[in-house]
Structure formats: C-alpha cells, structure tokens
Chains A and B, each alone.
Chain A
C-alpha cells in the first residue's frame, strides 16, 4: 500500500516544484475564469487515485471482488451527488459531462414523448449545447419556442406560461447562466411546469454548489450536472432523472444497458468517485464558501467603481451567483484588453475572442448594445481566489483600461460630449 502511495506522490511533487520555479521566473498568472473550469480539489484527487491503480475493477463485473469494490464506490458517489440536489441515488445517471446530459435530456425526452407532444420550450441565453440540441430537434420536425430574457437576463414567467401548450413535452431552462451568472427562478418555473403537466429540465452545470438546489421543492424533473465546474474532474457529469412521477428518456448512447438503460458504457469509476467527493465537499462547505466569495466579489466591484467611470455590470446584480462578475468597460474593446492583461486569465464577450466573430449572444439577448458587448470581461472568482490576487487583477485591468481609453477615439468623443450613436457609422 505504502509503496504505491509513494510512487504516485513523488513524481507529482517534482512536477509541481518545476512548475513553481517556472512561475517564479515569469509573473505568477492569476486564474479568474472559474466559470470556464475549476482546478480539481486536491481532496478530490486523493479520493480518486486508488481507483486508477489498486481498485481498478469494472463496476459492472458481477462475479468478483474487484467489480464489487468499484461498484460500491460508484454507489457511494451516486448518493453524494443525489444528496446535494435533494434526490435519491437511483435517480442519478452518470454521463461524460453536462453537454452529454443536456443532449440526453432534450433529445431523450422529446424522442420519447414527441409523437403526442412535439413541442419544446427553452431560452435564447442557454448554453450552446442546449440550443444546438434544440436546433437538431427542430430539423427533425419538433417544434421549439425560444423564450427571450429581460434586461437583467431573467425570463418573464408570464411569457413562459403563455408559451406552454397541450403539445409541450419539456421546458428546459438553465439554473445559472455561464456568462452573466444570473439565477433563474427555478421554483416558480417548476410550479408552472408541474401545474401544466410539462417536464422541467434545468442545466445546472453552473448552479450546483453555488445555490441551494432541491429537486422536490423546485419540482425539477431532469437536471444536468458537471464535474469540472465544481472542483471535480473533467469528463464526468450526471443527469438527474425523476422516478416519481417517472420521466422516460430514449438513450442516446446504446450498448450494454448500463445506467438503467439510459446511458450505456463502462462507468469511469475514478471520475465518478471524484464527482461524488466534489459534491460531498460542497455539501459541507458551500454556504461558507459562497459567503466568502460574495464578499470578494462585492469588494472587487467596488474597487472597479472607485477607479473607473463608465463601467456596467451585465446581468442582474442581485439574482446572481457570488463568483460571477461580468462588466463592460465602455470604449475599450475586449480582446485588446485581454492582450494587455496576459497574466490574468479571464474571458471576454468580445467578438474577436470568439470563433464566430460575433459578440456574445447572451449579452445581445439582454439588449446590451453591440458596442458594449465588445467591451465585456467575465471575472470568475472561486475556491482558491485570494484578495491579493483580486487586488492585483483590478489594478492591472484598470491600468489597461485607462491606457486603452487614451488610445480610443470613442472615449475621446465621449469626453468631448459627442454622442456616438448620432454618428452614421459605415458598418463593415
């Protein structure tokens, strides 16, 4: 036992020492992109390690102890995942991540119930994997309604009510938006859906561990969960599928019939153990963690506001998770800002940072002016963020914004009192 442990930890240490020296030479980069992904918590890694080496069994092997050992670990993890959303273990289906969970929820439900109820309702600000699944369903003849959002990024419940028809099988609305961090009114949406006997799926990749979730209280029928957004490993996720009243889905990956026939494929025990552990940590620590992060977030925003004018927070300032700060720095284009703060890892809604050369569709859906969408940064605060890091980031960002504004003809015009909207720009 001990020897195995040694073999695992020694090279690890050497690698991290080298990485540390490299960072000493360069300036140490600051990670503020926790919505993109999170580092795996060392406690999670520790829990996973034995399942790569000693406890490597196939959890589906029914006739020897290697299999039983792995199966036991999977079932413990299933319980840990279920606990954090108020579900029972049997309702958790493991997948490769939230993208697969969302695909399974939308396509799986629509294909099962679609003959009688071919209508799906979702929202324009959903993650691309939900929107793209919806588009595929549309191409196959299903009907999809895309609800808009209000200026604060939240849906209008009356609009949802009006959109539901007798043909609606499923409503899919995300818990927390990945770009702007706003929290949709899940409980109210659940009430509406249950009353109209429509299934409610919610993509909670960004919500788990950030807000309290209870599938019974919120009347949620399906929920997508991601491992790597909650300090777990990449490549693992889960779909909650309600058993009472039972929700049926058509499997999108077929084979050996694992996961009650909803998702075939050998379960990746180490990843599942990691996801379980990540949920277990959150069950114990999330309240404290989110309170700490919220303080950091408010402090950061205040520091920006103290130093810079013409900055705008995108998305509702109150109905939002603690770790998300999405700000438009008017008159400064996002990619040029990112270039100036190379040492700070954040995301931008600017067109130039996306493959499509279109500014963020989420910000556009909020009615944020295109010119402001180009100037947005998403600052993600998480478990390992320190006040010192945020101080350094705020200083670097403000200095960059000031430098780039000095270089910006739009800033110059604004200072001269010229209304940028009054100019006839040649769109190109």
Chain B
C-alpha cells in the first residue's frame, strides 16, 4: 500500500511512545479497539490543574496507519485544553496523514482514544456529573 511521507515518518519515528501511571489523578487513560480486530490503542494525557494537557503518551498494537494516527494525535493534543482536544475530528487526522479509505478506521480509533482519555480524567476528577448533565 502506498503511504504518505508524513504517515511513514510517524510510523518510523513515532512521537510520545510510552506510559504514565494510570492511577495518578492528573492522568487520564483511554484504551480502545480490540486485539481480535487487529488494533488496540492506549492513549494517556497528563492534565494541569488549569485543565491544559501538558503531556501525552501512547502505545498502539496495530497497522502502520494506527501507529501513525496515535502518534499524530499525541502531538496535537499537547498544550490544548480538554475541550479543544475533545473537538479533534478523525477527518483531520485522516487528511493530515492522507490515509487510504480502508484505513479511515485508524483515525476514528485515535479520536475515540482521546475522547476516552478525557472522559477518564474527568471521571477521576469529579467532573463526571457535569459531563452527564451536558
């Protein structure tokens, strides 16, 4: 399959690979996908008391597109507020990496992963009620 240079760069030199302590209250963890489907993404964010994402880490089991999508989104969310990060659309990721149509689900997974991480952070920090009321 012909991949874009950006995608290959993210695959070969993935940004922000790693893990944070998921028990820390400032850390939100999202784990999405399924091994049987061939892709699992773990995305973690570290959030300041002001609600800004100061760090992001990922680990991904999946194809090159899945690895590149998660690498890209960790770059994008750093320095953003939770609302800004939660507003990232999968189509932006797909466009940036020029994902072929059969790989669009990788970008959807990345969007799901950041949303799951934000929701985990909010739950941990007592903001779940606010979310539910929205």
Interface range on chain A (Cβ under 8 Å from partner): 20 to 34
Residue of A with least CB distance to B36: A370
Are A335 and B64 in contact (CB-based, < 8 A)? yes
**Alpha-carbon distance between A41 and B61 when the two chains are bound, in angstroms:** 40
Q: A338-375 interface mask toward B, CB cutoff 8 Å, 1 = contact, 0 = none?
A: 01000000000011100001010000000001110010
Residue of B with least CB distance to A357: B102
**B48 sits at the interface (CB 8 A):** no
Are B63 and A352 in contact (CB-based, < 8 A)? yes
Are A409 and B32 in contact (CB-based, < 8 A)? no
Are A371 and B36 in contact (CB-based, < 8 A)? yes
Residue of A with least CB distance to B34: A425
**Alpha-carbon distance between A370 and B62 when the two chains are bound, in angstroms:** 13
**Alpha-carbon distance between A295 and B114 when the two chains are bound, in angstroms:** 49
CB-CB under 8 A from B66, the residues of chain A are 333, 336
CB-CB under 8 A from B64, the residues of chain A are 335-336, 339
**B86 sits at the interface (CB 8 A):** no
Are B105 and A428 in contact (CB-based, < 8 A)? yes
CB-CB under 8 A from A407, the residues of chain B are 14, 17, 59-60, 67
CB-CB under 8 A from A412, the residues of chain B are 19, 42, 59
Mostly helix, strand, loop or mixed at chain B's interface?
mixed
**A406 sits at the interface (CB 8 A):** yes
**A332 sits at the interface (CB 8 A):** yes
Which residues B68-97 have CB closer than 8 A to chain A?
none
CB-CB under 8 A from A406, the residues of chain B are 17
**A427 sits at the interface (CB 8 A):** yes
Are B34 and A427 in contact (CB-based, < 8 A)? yes
Are B38 and A425 in contact (CB-based, < 8 A)? no
Number of residues of chain B lying within 8 A (CB) of chain A: 30
**Alpha-carbon distance between A411 and B42 when the two chains are bound, in angstroms:** 12
CB-CB under 8 A from B61, the residues of chain A are 331-333, 408-411
B47 smallest CB distance to A (angstroms): 20
A335 smallest CB distance to B (angstroms): 4
Are A350 and B59 in contact (CB-based, < 8 A)? no
Residue of A with least CB distance to B102: A357
Are B59 and A409 in contact (CB-based, < 8 A)? yes
A340 smallest CB distance to B (angstroms): 8
Q: A336-B11, A425-B33 known; A409 and B63 CB under 8 Å?
A: no
Are B59 and A408 in contact (CB-based, < 8 A)? yes
CB-CB under 8 A from B31, the residues of chain A are 409
**Alpha-carbon distance between A336 and B8 when the two chains are bound, in angstroms:** 11
Additional 17 contacts, C-beta under 8 A, given A407-B59, A407-B67, A411-B61: A331-B61, A333-B38, A333-B61, A333-B63, A339-B3, A350-B63, A351-B37, A370-B35, A406-B17, A409-B31, A410-B35, A420-B35, A425-B33, A426-B32, A426-B33, A428-B34, A428-B108
Q: Can you give 28 contacting A-B residue pairs, CB < 8 Å?
A: A331-B61, A333-B39, A333-B61, A333-B63, A333-B66, A336-B67, A339-B8, A352-B63, A359-B38, A370-B35, A370-B36, A370-B38, A374-B35, A406-B17, A407-B14, A408-B59, A409-B31, A409-B40, A409-B42, A409-B59, A410-B35, A412-B19, A412-B42, A420-B35, A425-B35, A427-B37, A428-B34, A428-B37
The 9 closest A-B pairs by CB, nearest first: A425-B34, A371-B35, A409-B42, A370-B36, A335-B63, A409-B59, A352-B63, A374-B38, A339-B64
